[in-house]
Structure 1
Amino acid sequence: MKASTFQTLIIGLLCLAVAGLSGGLYNQYQRMAKLQSTDTQYRQTLDTLQHDSSALKDAQEKLQYALKDLKQMVDTSEQQANTLDPMLDQWAQEIQELRDGLAARATVAELTALRAHLEQVEQQFQEHKTQPSPPPPSPSATKPKKTARPKPVPLSPPFSVLGVESRGGERFLAVAPHDSRSLIDVRLLHSGEQLGAWYLKVLEPNSAIFAVAAQPDQTVHLP
């Protein structure tokens, strides 16, 4: 074999070896690149999972705090309810006692006003009965005698006087209709106010003075 042919054969073998090595290196490079890409994807997936896990952990902690606050609110509400229930019962009892007291006072006031009116009528009847009858006028009398003007009959108010209420240092007259038994119908009159045709002029310690249209001032005694 000639030397040139042997050299050509050696060079060909080297080229084949280099080509084989190049192909193997290329395949290894592709596998490495694929592994790196897969590793990058795995790292991204791992980062996403870690981020989601952190967010889930934060949400869990917030939920725990919210549950703790809700429990404290429930406990506080139960304590307030336990405190308010006896107070509400006591207020309801006091309101009922006040209603019963006002109803009793209204009944007593009506009886007192009726008794006073009957006494006034009886007194006027007795005065009229005991007055001597005047003698018949003589024919020679030239001047007519002056007739005595009758005393005005006190009027009965169209309402019942329950008493006096003090509000902020001011005195008010508590009145209600005669046939009323409800607190809703009770009205507080201040000096200068009126109910119907009755105008409250002065509220004295033991009586109230009203002005009535076309009538003299009426004095109503307090119960």
Structure 2
Amino acid sequence: MKASTFQTLIVGSLCLAVSGLSGGLYNQYQRVTELENTNAQRLQTLNALQRDSSTLLNAQEKLQYALKDLKQMVDSGEQQVNTLDPMLDQWAQEIQELRDGLAARATEADMIALRARLEHVEQQLLDLKSQPPLPPPTPSSAKPKKTAQPKPAPLLPPFSVLSVEYRGGERFLAVAPPDSRSLKDIQLLHNGEQLGTWQLKVLEQSAAVFAVTAQPDQTVHLP
């Protein structure tokens, strides 16, 4: 075989080998490029998942804080309910006691008014019994003796004396119409105040002195 032919064969073989290697390298380059693209896409997906995970974690933390605040509000509401329930029960009991007290006071006021009227009538009877008897008739020639004028019978006040009340350290006389059965009809009289034609002059320890129009002063005993 000639040397030139052998060289030609070797060069051809080398060319074929280089061509094969080039094709293989190109294929490997394409595969590497595809893998790099795939890795880039996967990295983008991973970054997106990480961002979504961070967002979810932030949302979870916010929800936990909101849940904690809600729990505190519920606990505070339960505390307020536990505090208000006894207060409401106490207020209801106090209101009931006030109602019972008003009812008892109304009954007591009626009894005081009745007792005051009875005592006034008894005092009138005692005053009538204590009046001196009329002197026997004397002869016409004898000089008539002066006789003491009988005291006029005390007037019956147009109201019932109930009790003495204290307001601001001062004494007031509680009166009401004789036939009254209501607390709203009770009036408090201070010295100098007037009810009808009766004006309270002096409020003593056991009696009240009234000035009556066109009449002498009237003394009403306190119950």
Please, what TM-score do these two structures have when normalized by structure 2? 0.69
The correspondence for 1:53, drawn from 39, 46, 60, is 60
1:41 aligns with 2:43: no
Tell me if the contact between 1:161 and 1:176 (Cα under 8 Å) persists in the aligned partners. yes
Distance in 1 of aligned mates of 2:77 and 2:119: 61
Structure 2 alignment gaps of length 5 or more: 1-7, 141-147
Counterpart of 1:197 in structure 2 is: 197
CA spacing shift, 1:13–1:201, aligned 2, 3 Å: farther
Of 31-40 and 62-71, deviating more is 62-71
1:111 aligns with 2:118: yes
CA spacing shift, 1:14–1:200, aligned 2, 3 Å: farther
Tell me if the contact between 1:117 and 1:156 (Cα under 8 Å) persists in the aligned partners. no
CA spacing shift, 1:135–1:33, aligned 2, 3 Å: farther
Partner of 2:220, secondary structure, is strand
Partner of 2:67, secondary structure, is helix
CA spacing shift, 1:13–1:86, aligned 2, 3 Å: same
Distance in 1 of aligned mates of 2:33 and 2:138: 156
Counterpart of 1:173 in structure 2 is: 173
The 5 Å alignment of 1:120-199 reads 122=128, 130=134, 154-199=154-199
Distance in 2 of aligned mates of 1:37 and 1:131: 139
CA spacing shift, 1:92–1:65, aligned 2, 3 Å: same
Tell me if the contact between 1:158 and 1:177 (Cα under 8 Å) persists in the aligned partners. yes
Letter in 2 for 1:77: L
Distance in 1 of aligned mates of 2:32 and 2:139: 162
1:6 Cα deviation after fit: 8.8
Partner of 1:130, secondary structure, is coil
Tell me if the contact between 2:201 and 2:209 (Cα under 8 Å) persists in the aligned partners. yes
1:51 Cα deviation after fit: 1.7
Please tell me the root mean square deviation across aligned C-alpha atoms, in Å.
Answer: 4.0
Please, what TM-score do these two structures have when normalized by structure 1? 0.69
Q: Provide Cα deviations, 1:41-60, integer angstroms capped at 9, x if missing partner.
A: 21122112212222222222
Structure 1 alignment gaps of length 5 or more: 137-147
Number of positions where the alignment pairs a residue of Structure 1 with one of Structure 2: 209
Distance in 2 of aligned mates of 1:92 and 1:31: 88
Letter in 2 for 1:200: L
Q: Provide Cα deviations, 1:143-200, integer angstroms capped at 9, x if missing partner.
A: xxxxx99966643322110121223422111111111112222122222323233322
Partner of 2:45, secondary structure, is helix
Identity of aligned residues (%): 37
CA spacing shift, 1:12–1:180, aligned 2, 3 Å: same
1:36 Cα deviation after fit: 2.1
Of 57-66 and 88-97, deviating more is 88-97
Partner of 2:157, secondary structure, is coil
1:221 aligns with 2:207: no
Distance in 2 of aligned mates of 1:25 and 1:173: 116
Counterpart of 1:139 in structure 2 is: none
CA spacing shift, 1:150–1:117, aligned 2, 3 Å: closer
The 5 Å alignment of 1:3-22 reads 20=27
Distance in 1 of aligned mates of 2:156 and 2:30: 129
Letter in 2 for 1:199: Q
